[in-house]
Chains A and B, each alone.
Chain A
Amino acid sequence: MRLRVTFAVAARVLAQLRRDHRTVAMLIVLPALLVSLMWWMFTDSPNTFDRVGGPLLAVFPAIIMFIVTSVATLRERSTGTLSRLFTMPMGKLDFLLGYALAFALIAVVQAAVVVTIALYALDLDIRGDAWQLGVVAVLDGVLGTALGLFASAFAATEFQAVQMMPAVMIPQLLLCGLLVPRDQLPGVLEAVSDVLPLSYAVDAVGGVAAGNGFGEGAGTDALVVTVFILAALALGAATLKRRTA
């Protein structure tokens, strides 16, 4: 692993994003807009918003990051830049970590915006600390990034990559506890939800919102999310092939 290469990739990805205002706007503004839309929908039942608002801070950043990053390595494959990089001293993990690092920085801005708006403009009522909510929101954005990079390494074309979104993210969205609390799911589905990363992302946000800080459960969930992030990147690196047909 070479940090020099990872930082070079991250700096390059950020330089490309700087030129792409629409994608940056999508990444930073969209989660906040979607949370605002939910607030508006539940304007007559603020308690409901307080219940789903927290989990949404996990779900929206994760899904949006997933979509953007799932085409990332495919773009590099189709333009031949990945071939060039693979003839250079660049590890597969260095490459994915570079992307993860660049999007983690975006996730920090994204989380700051969406958490600030949810807490102070939309009056989302939470018992925990705002900064802890911010930290888990960042982790959830990075989780979406890592899963997206994994899916990207798995897909053969950009067309296949965008199809990964409904295949990978929607089942997690249905089972993460947002629609039906996980302990009320049928036994089999509850067991499935126990091994899905988004469940822990939502539990972490839910825990902080309920006033269980990092010391009382939410920290464990955040740690599980971190493990999923690292596992997804490692699996993505293992799946990415230097030699192709």
Chain B
Amino acid sequence: MMKNAVECRDVVVIRGDREVLHGVDFDLRAGSVTGLLGPSGCGKTTLIRAIVGLQAKVTGDVQVLGLPAGAAKLRGRIGYVTQEPSVYFDLTVTENLRFFAAVLGVDSADVDRVIDAVDLRSHAHERVDRLSGGQQSRASLAAALLGDPELLVLDEPTVGLDPVLRRDLWELFHRLAEAGATLLVSSHVMDEASRCDRLLLMRDGVLLADDSPQALLDSAGTVDMEQAFLTLIDRKAGAR
């Protein structure tokens, strides 16, 4: 088994005539849960799209599971959850999952497994547009779990969920990691940071920190992640 599931070296992304990622370097250790934290608009989604191979104009090196990002052989080995629920709203949860299972070529028994994993059993036969926002994003997450992908890239999967569900989902993420999957979970909510094995703090298209949550708090001399983030920003500004 490889040591790192993702390796990014000097990743630069240009959108339109603006550079939105300015040379990002980091590794994702296989079997870990990494949080990608930063304010809205800092480049989290762009970085995620570069990793799953959907972002245009990426320079630098993005290696995913030992292959260049976007390689045909990676398709089906990565589970990707976009920020907005990417499922068909006019189909039921089960119909959606059966379709994606067919595209992936995985057994339809897997559909039942992922429905239970995201706790949507009682809504399995409801149309997605009749579900609440939180249920819709769980349906979208379920689709990404099909076929046990080795890498899961989740763009703000816990937005708008109640605290109990958020806790349950983080427990699910850790169970998946223990089973060998690697997870990258973006969030703009700092209090989710403590749930990660490792944190990437991002601002304005650069990584401010790449460390464990405890090490980050220690180096900033605080117990509050929001405060640690601010301290790091001030230090960067001071260093310039």
Contacts and interface: CB of A to CB of B under 8 A. Distances in A.
A184 interface: no
Interface string A157-193: 0000000000000000000000000000000000000
B54 A243 contact: yes
A80 B82 contact: yes
Contacts, number: 93
A79 B75 CA distance: 20
A98 to B, nearest CB: 10
Interface residues of B, number: 38
Contacts of B91: 12, 15-16, 19
A6 to B, nearest CB: 10
Nearest to A79: B86
Interface string B91-105: 100010001101111
A38 to B, nearest CB: 34
Contacts of A15: 91, 95
Q: Size range of the interface on A? A: 20 to 34
B118 to A, nearest CB: 15
B217 interface: no
B57 interface: yes
- By secondary structure, the A interface counts as helix
Interface in B59-93: 70, 72, 74-76, 78-80, 82-91
A241 interface: yes
Contacts of A9: 103
A84 B78 CA distance: 10
Contacts of A242: 53-54, 70
A243 B82 CA distance: 15
A90 interface: yes
B167 interface: no
A71 to B, nearest CB: 14
A4 interface: yes
A5, A9, A88 — most chain B CB neighbours (10 Å): A88
A88 B103 contact: yes
B56 interface: yes
B163 interface: no
B9 interface: no
B166 to A, nearest CB: 21
A81 B139 CA distance: 12
Nearest to B79: A87
A11 B102 CA distance: 10
A216 to B, nearest CB: 44
B82 A89 contact: no
Given A15-B95, A20-B90, A243-B55, A84 B16 contact: no
Contacts of B58: 243
A1 interface: no
B76 A80 contact: no
Interface in A52-94: 79-81, 83-90
A8 B12 CA distance: 37
B145 interface: no
Contacts of A5: 102-103
Q: Which of B58, B75, B87 has the most CB of A within 10 A?
A: B75
Contacts of B86: 79-81, 83-84
A121 interface: no
Contact of A12 (B53, B76, B88): B88
A245 interface: yes
A16 B129 CA distance: 13
A244 interface: yes
Interface of B: 15-16, 49, 52-58, 70, 72, 74-76, 78-80, 82-91, 95, 99-100, 102-105, 127, 143-144
12 contacts: A4-B102, A5-B102, A12-B88, A16-B91, A80-B85, A81-B86, A86-B75, A87-B75, A89-B103, A243-B53, A243-B58, A245-B15
Top-5 shortest CB links A-B: A80-B86, A8-B102, A80-B82, A243-B56, A89-B75
Given A90-B103, A242-B70, 17 more contacts: A5-B103, A8-B102, A11-B102, A12-B88, A79-B86, A79-B89, A83-B49, A83-B86, A84-B100, A84-B143, A86-B54, A87-B52, A88-B76, A242-B54, A243-B53, A243-B55, A244-B55
